[in-house]
Amino acid sequence: MPTLASVGAGPGMGLAIARTPEKLDDLVALLGEEGVTAAAFPADVLDRPSLTAALDAARARFGSIDVRAARCATG
């Protein structure tokens, strides 16, 4: 099964998922209800080491990242 990493998921992605850990947990649970295996790896996209660590953790969890969806915005 392909692995997708969504980077920079903010208010435009619905649920304002990147804003709080609780909203990330809600999204992971919602995806699970739909049969999607999901996990959250919060990171600050403006902090390269933080982003790299999150992507490395995702790779460790899922084995690979097949698709990266970048939708980064600040402000």
Interstrand relation of 4-7 and 67-70 (parallel, antiparallel or unpaired): parallel
Select the more confidently predicted residue: 56 or 22. 56
Token output for 18: 């990147």
- Residue 70 pLDDT exceeds 80: no
Q: Which of 36, 4, 39 is nearest to 25 (CA)?
A: 39
Q: Which residues contact 41 (CB under 8 A, 6 or more apart)?
A: 54, 55, 57, 58, 61
Using pLDDT thresholds of 50, 70 and 90, give the confidence band for residue 60: very high
Q: Using an 8 Å Cβ cutoff, are 57 and 41 in contact?
A: yes
